[in-house]
Structure 1
Amino acid sequence: MIGVELFAGPGGLGHAAELANIRTIGIEWDPNAVATRVAAGLATIHGDVTKYGPADVPGQMLTGGPPCQTFTGAGKGEGRRELALVIEGVKKVAARQPVDRTEFADPRTPLVLEPLRWTVEAIDLSRPYQAIVLEQVREALPVWEAYADMLRLEGYSVATGVLATEQYGLPQTRKRAVLIARLVGDAVLPAPTHRPYRKGVPQHEGDPALLPWVSMGEALDRPQPFTVISNYGTGGDPKNRGQRTSAEPAFTVTGKISRFRILDGDGNETRFSHSEAGVLQGFPADWPWSGADIAQQIGNACPVTLGVPLIKAAIEASPAAGQDQAPTTQAA
């Protein structure tokens, strides 16, 4: 199976696919992310996703994480305010009708429609994708739910929901809206492997059937315990910074992770290196980060540790008939 990765970034879903034994080719417009991908040996087309289609880049699996800036709660919210317009766009794409991108306040918002465009074009070429994996910030879940309605009409089984990344072994708390679609078999979201993080609840407590969540101290090679002071203001007061110790998972990694202050027991202050920030996002410590804006590359990437179970759920055999199965639409 060959996968096509849209909005490929520095290789989050691409490396996850490799770990699941899937060869992929990614399309990415940012030259910095392209430099990282090339250095990592990932097949890459440096170009605009909107200028290509499945006739140009064929494959049996489609993955992608469209730009999230207009949907995330940390941004200005153009995508959230235009959600009705986005969902109308989903219906138009599914009906093979044109979408007027100039109707959107931010040109990045309608990019969330691109995976569906690729999907219906592949169907019309009689080369439908066997599996689809998409991820976005949790605020975009209604978009994936609208996708699900349209994909089911095309014969896909679809699962959507919001997943907590620390429940899949990532040393970071991060919520992602995901979609898995399968042309054959039942689509089911991957079951959590680790316990959810709860402030003040010890790591060893919780469901004994699940592994403990992973802390920053366990993931990073630092000689002594430390405290992270985030760049996020809390309670509406930008001076009231959030804090976590190395015995906890990291705050959500964004392009501003270079602003995180790290204090050790002796009062020394440092910052996360690119390697460390990448590890918190699930990349190997030796991932060859290249080009400029590396912190932004890392923050924009799909966490590798989440990507692997998503891809495996999309391509592996579905539960046997008669066994208990998860519902085709889930929310966490």
Structure 2
Amino acid sequence: MQKFKIVDLFAGAGSWSVAAHQLGVPLVGVEWPWGACETRRAAGLCTVEDDVRTLGPGEFPEENVLVSRPPAQTMSAAGHGHSRGVLTRVLDFVGRMSRREDISAALVADERTWLALEPLRWALGAIDKNCAYEVIVLAHAASLLPLWEAVAETLAAEGYSVASGLLPAEQYGVPQTRRVSVMIARRDGPAALPAPTHRAYRNGATRKEGDPLLLPWVTMGEALSRPYLFEMISNYGKAGDPGVRGRRSSVQPAPAVTGKSGRNRLVTPDGAELPRLTFREAGQLQTFPTSYPWAGRAVPLQIGNAVPPLLCVHLLAAALDLPARAYTWSSAQRT
């Protein structure tokens, strides 16, 4: 009998599905039927097309692992006063949920905040039905780490072993430098974040620098099949200055892939314009397979909102006590 079965809330284009397939673990995703569901259908992924808020653990009695990357637009603009206020309110809601207070009325007028709390609602609901998830894994942008830490504290009080932190994606073979906030909770055995497999990227450093026991970080040039040197000029500002655009060479990792990755300019070393990233190429930088069948609305957002599948492999492997060091960017492309 299969030991683990996963339910993925806000399943998106299939990051966790790709990772679960590599690890040989069955997964069902829950996703609202628009946009990403067309990609999921094209990829043949197991999907319940419904609103996460209308469902709960009772509809998935065989699934004993919960994973999620919930929508959290109101909290993802790090450093903005509004987002800090939203986060403070969300952390208060986490505390109230841990005491089993009914906060539904307070959340009706704040739908996007409600969505960010859905994984905790499912986790506590399963506990209260005496069918607690054996493993819970949450991931999102770096700015959501305080939320994951609050959720971890709540789950620790419910008997889980928990671990949370920020993971640099390039240290797990992803050819881009994005930081991902993660939380792993386990009922049986100690929770721990996955150990890095690749060296950390540092501006100005070479791939030979760093821990010799780790692999070099993966470059844009390795990830994409363009047979020439190029530079990527970011669509967003650098170091908080919107007028200064970040610039990376193809012998470096890409900057974080966002929902506006198609606006990043690509140029030759002497400045000549090159074709911009295709959907397939943006997906490759996220470590989706080369042949992934992108479809439906807002494909750039589907790609940019995804947790890199290769990072999901390492997270799931650490959470489920499965080997993961053999999985690299190259193996991800063959999934």
TM-score, normalised with respect to structure 1: 0.91
Secondary structure of the corresponding residue to residue 202 of structure 2: coil
Q: Tell whether the 8 Å contact from 1:69 to 1:75 is kept in structure 2 after alignment.
A: no
Tell me how far 1:150 sits from its aligned partner: 1.1
The C-alpha deviation readout for 1:279-312, integer Å capped at 9, x for no partner, is: 1111001111011210010000111011001001
Tell me how far 1:222 sits from its aligned partner: 0.5
Identify if the C-alpha distance between structure 1 residues 52 and 77 changes in structure 2 by more than 3 Å, giving closer, same or farther: farther
Structure 2 residue aligned with 1:172: 176
Structure 2 residue aligned with 1:94: 98
Structure 1, gaps ≥5 residues long: 319-332
Q: Tell whether the 8 Å contact from 1:101 to 1:110 is kept in structure 2 after alignment.
A: no
2:142 aligned with 1:138, yes or no?
Answer: yes
After superposition, the CA RMSD in angstroms is: 1.9
- Structure 1 counterpart of 2:229, one-letter code: P
Tell me how far 1:238 sits from its aligned partner: 3.1
2:131 aligned with 1:127, yes or no?
Answer: yes
Of 10, 29, 35, the residue aligned with 1:7 is 10
Q: Tell whether the 8 Å contact from 1:14 to 1:24 is kept in structure 2 after alignment.
A: yes
2:301 aligned with 1:296, yes or no?
Answer: yes
Structure 2 residue aligned with 1:243: 247
Tell me how far 1:73 sits from its aligned partner: 2.8
Deviates more, 1:68-77 or 1:182-191: 68-77
Residues in 1 aligned to 2:242 and 2:153: alpha-carbon distance in whole angstroms: 41
Residues in 2 aligned to 1:90 and 1:74: alpha-carbon distance in whole angstroms: 20
The C-alpha deviation readout for 1:125-150, integer Å capped at 9, x for no partner, is: 22111111100111111111111111
Residues in 2 aligned to 1:118 and 1:202: alpha-carbon distance in whole angstroms: 45
Q: Tell whether the 8 Å contact from 1:71 to 1:77 is kept in structure 2 after alignment.
A: no
Identify if the C-alpha distance between structure 1 residues 77 and 298 changes in structure 2 by more than 3 Å, giving closer, same or farther: farther
Deviates more, 1:110-119 or 1:161-170: 110-119
Q: Tell whether the 8 Å contact from 1:80 to 1:139 is kept in structure 2 after alignment.
A: no
Structure 2 residue aligned with 1:284: 289
Identify if the C-alpha distance between structure 1 residues 74 and 149 changes in structure 2 by more than 3 Å, giving closer, same or farther: closer
Deviates more, 1:21-30 or 1:254-263: 21-30
- Structure 1 counterpart of 2:59, one-letter code: D
Tell me how far 1:268 sits from its aligned partner: 3.5
Bigger helix fraction: 2
Secondary structure of the corresponding residue to residue 55 of structure 1: helix
Structure 1 residue aligned with 2:212: 208
- What percentage of residue pairs aligned between the two structures are identical? 48
2:73 aligned with 1:69, yes or no?
Answer: yes
Residues in 2 aligned to 1:143 and 1:238: alpha-carbon distance in whole angstroms: 28
Secondary structure of the corresponding residue to residue 254 of structure 2: coil
2:57 aligned with 1:54, yes or no?
Answer: yes
Residues in 2 aligned to 1:109 and 1:144: alpha-carbon distance in whole angstroms: 14
Structure 2 residue aligned with 1:155: 159
2:236 aligned with 1:229, yes or no?
Answer: no
Structure 2, gaps ≥5 residues long: 324-335
- Structure 1 counterpart of 2:54, one-letter code: K
Q: How many residue pairs get matched?
A: 318
Residues in 2 aligned to 1:80 and 1:108: alpha-carbon distance in whole angstroms: 15
Structure 2 residue aligned with 1:33: 36
Identify if the C-alpha distance between structure 1 residues 317 and 241 changes in structure 2 by more than 3 Å, giving closer, same or farther: closer
